[in-house]
Amino acid sequence: MGEVNMKKYWSSRIKNQQPYVFGEQPKDKKYIKLNTNENPYPPSPRVFEAIQASLEELRLYPDPACSELVSAISQLFGIGEKNIFCGNGSDEILAMAFPAFFEPGRPILFPDITYTFYPVYADFYGLDCRTVPVEADFTIPYKKLFNSPGGVVLANPNAPTGIALEPDMVESIIKNNPDNVVIVDEAYVDFGGRSAVSLIDRYPNLLVVRTTSKSYSLAGLRVGWAMGNENLIAALNVVKNSFNSYTLGRPAIAGGAAALRDRQYFKTCIDKVIKTRQETAKALKGLGFNITPSCTNFLFVSHEKAGAEHIFKRLREEGILVRYFKKPRIDNWLRITIGTEEDMKAVVKKLEEILRTV
Amino acid sequence: MGEVNMKKYWSSRIKNQQPYVFGEQPKDKKYIKLNTNENPYPPSPRVFEAIQASLEELRLYPDPACSELVSAISQLFGIGEKNIFCGNGSDEILAMAFPAFFEPGRPILFPDITYTFYPVYADFYGLDCRTVPVEADFTIPYKKLFNSPGGVVLANPNAPTGIALEPDMVESIIKNNPDNVVIVDEAYVDFGGRSAVSLIDRYPNLLVVRTTSKSYSLAGLRVGWAMGNENLIAALNVVKNSFNSYTLGRPAIAGGAAALRDRQYFKTCIDKVIKTRQETAKALKGLGFNITPSCTNFLFVSHEKAGAEHIFKRLREEGILVRYFKKPRIDNWLRITIGTEEDMKAVVKKLEEILRTV
């Protein structure tokens, strides 16, 4: 059957749609898995207890307002419950924010090197986007994000570069887009970035998006949230209730809330990841790698003598998965998630061996 | 602040969007909750064990292909894995199917009395719809769903009426829409309807949508799936990967699969609900209620002497929640979910008292 027939029933919206390509989730064997920025440590023990308790009423629909989770977020950040929106992972929140705030014909701005899901959302909803090239050192020329015709999406810290913008630069982007929404995607902020959340009272156009997938070790549970002016939150609720009223199940609401409440455990995990990142960066510099300054749970690295694709393939053969993006400007770079100290020692050792043979 | 300012940052897509209104999920006190068609029995004990085991790797992303769940569905229905798509509840699947298969300017047909989320999806994606009035007895004039300009959505059994179309009528709708997709939403089919799933091999335009929320007692977990020709499934995957690649968390995949595998438990629950439905229908007829022939886990009832809204309010005061839709044609009807035998005896008793005072 030819291409045309296979897509006979597809809408014109999706016939040419290029979907997002996620990092591989292999099932063939056990890898040291450093390709999708998961946390190497398990979630707080409180999460398991909370999920266990949530199963008692599994036959009943979950609370569509996710009140328990909203309450935990409200307490953690000292913001109102009306300023919070929960979603089935931060990707879902972004997927709802694009149609809520952006308009066809009014281009959205974001850096050329950033999370590759942003242009996919835009395409899906028929929105235009315009990319701003990052500098040679991958820093974002933030003034070029001022006065966007349609809105801004800013990953801060940025991925896959790991680089964070200073808070005053983020604020100036928000301030200089008074008529459009600025989404600040803070998926990695807990590992060393500085959050824009304290600005939501002053800027009605700011939406901060978070996830529990990285810093709370809950990638497998699917819990994200957004914080912003209540009029933005109301818009997200319109989209949600035009799509799926019950996006978070009972285990997700209870488990997410428990993770957010356990501050001691969170801090311990974050500190360990940051310490391992610093040690790994030092070791990789010793091997001659270039490394961007990371405020995240990954390192973005490049080597003059060995091609990134070659290293990627060799590591894979050795049972270590990292992320390689075959894309302009970054096709000689690798993104390596910070695993346990032991994981990273193994990576450094393998890289040393690989470099010896090039 | 006026209406205009509150919506300053809202896209034109959502400014006039009317979201879906779900049945209330009260937290103020304990009700006999018969308003959102939840199953009165807990899920299979196997579900709890499976969720427990799934928590071991909660720090890792879930399998985006939901292979374990797909495999359970494949075995249950004897269909290929490429014919299956999983979603975060069947609402999410519908929300992805509308943009996958329907086209602006080519109206989608569905009955005027049906699941009220259908027109909401259509509006959100800028799709047109045309409703076909059901007969006075709420049966669907199925021939009027032939030759749709853009596609058909058919809840079978229908909600909130509970009435099922015969399989040959469903097949003739599919056959008479060769150029458009027919979505058959079988959320309630396990309670006495007959599925169209055996037709997916013969009709490349048929998509059957299912949920674990009702017959598997898993409303709180959020697991649904679709079955159809692999080209339709491929289209749904394009939408999914343009929206959120990881829609089901680890507990949902494991718990959903375990529920589907436990056939004995499933059959026992279904039989109990059907038996209670029959007893309740008989008792309500004895009280003078009109009842549509239900193939679902609810009864759609009306009484000549007492208004539905009055009964709804009185029941609520007495701690019993049922569903009342203040909508044309059905504003003198109530949808009452089948609870336990005890729940239903309490409802019948209260209705008897209420009728005595009108």
pLDDT, tens digit (0-9, with 9 covering 90-100), for B72-112:
999 999 999 999 999 999 999 999 999 999 999 999 999 99
Check for a shared fold between B25-42+264-356 and B45-261: no
Domain boundaries, chain A: 20-42+264-356, 45-261
| H/E stretch holding B119 | helix B117-124
Cross-chain Cβ contact A7/B235 below 8 Å? yes
How many Cα neighbours within 13 Å face the side chain of A111? 27
Judge whether residue A241 has pLDDT over 70: yes
CA distances from B206 to A92, B188, B198, B274 (A): 27, 18, 10, 28
Q: Is there a contact between A125 and A150 (Cβ–Cβ < 8 Å)?
A: no
Structure tokens given for A343: 């994981």
Q: Under an 8 A CB cutoff, do B14 and A238 touch?
A: yes
The pLDDT-based confidence of A23 (bands split at 50, 70, 90) is: confident
Contacts of B23 (CB under 8 A, 6+ apart): B35, B36, B321, B323
The residue among A10, A116, A244 with the most chain B CBs within 10 A of its CB, best to mutate, is A244
* Dihedral sign computed on CA atoms, order B256, B259, B261, B266: negative
CA distance A86 to B2: 26
Best of A14, A37, A217, A337 to substitute, by most chain B Cβ atoms within 10 angstroms, is: A14
CATH code of the domain made up of B25-42+264-356: 3.90.1150.10
Please, where are the H alpha helices in A78-189? 90-101, 117-124, 167-175
Note whether A196 and A170 are within 8 A (CB): yes
CB distance B123–A219 less than 8 Å? no
Q: How far is CA B277 from CA A234, B26, B164, B266, B292, in A?
A: 39, 24, 15, 17, 12
The dihedrals phi and psi of A150, each to the nearest 5 degrees, come to -140, -10
Per-residue confidence at B3, pLDDT binned at 50, 70, 90? low
Nearest to A25 by CA among A335, A341, A323: A323
Which residues in chain A are contacts of B100 at CB distance < 8 A?
A: 10-11, 13-14
Strand blocks (E) in A45-122: 84-87, 108-111
Per-residue pLDDT for B1 more than 50? no
User: Are A100 and B11 a contacting pair at CB < 8 A?
Assistant: yes
Which CATH number among 3.40.640.10, 3.40.50.720, 3.40.630.10, 2.40.10.480 corresponds to the domain B45-261? Answer: 3.40.640.10
Beta bridge partners of A180: none
Q: What is the enclosing helix (H) or strand (E) of B167? A: helix B167-175
Residue-wise pLDDT tens digits, A45-70: 999 999 999 999 999 999 999 999 99
Architecture per CATH, domain A20-42+264-356, reads as Alpha-Beta Complex (3.90)
**Interchain proximity A51–B55, CB inside 8 Å:** yes
For A243-291, write each residue's pLDDT tens digit.
999 999 999 999 999 999 999 999 999 999 999 999 999 999 999 999 9
Question: Does the pLDDT at position A3 exceed 60?
Answer: no
Confidence (pLDDT) at B261 = 98
- For residue A145, what pLDDT band results from cuts at 50, 70 and 90? very high
Which pLDDT band holds residue B26 (cuts at 50, 70, 90)?
confident
Reported ipTM: 0.97
Predicted local distance difference test score (pLDDT) of residue A358: 83
Give the pTM.
0.97
Residue B56 has pLDDT above 60, yes or no: yes
* Nearest CB to B11 within list A6, A21, A99: A99
pLDDT at A30: 87
Q: Do A61 and B221 count as a contact with CB atoms less than 8 A apart?
A: no
Q: Please indicate whether, in this complex, the C-beta atoms of B220 and A27 are within 8 angstroms of each other.
A: no
Total number of residues shown for chain B: 358
Q: Mind listing the pLDDT tens digit for each residue in B257-276?
A: 999 999 999 999 999 999 99
Q: B209 pLDDT exceeds 90? A: yes
pLDDT at B28: 73
* Residue B46 scores a pLDDT above 60: yes
Nearest CB partner across the interface for A14, out of B9, B13, B235? B235
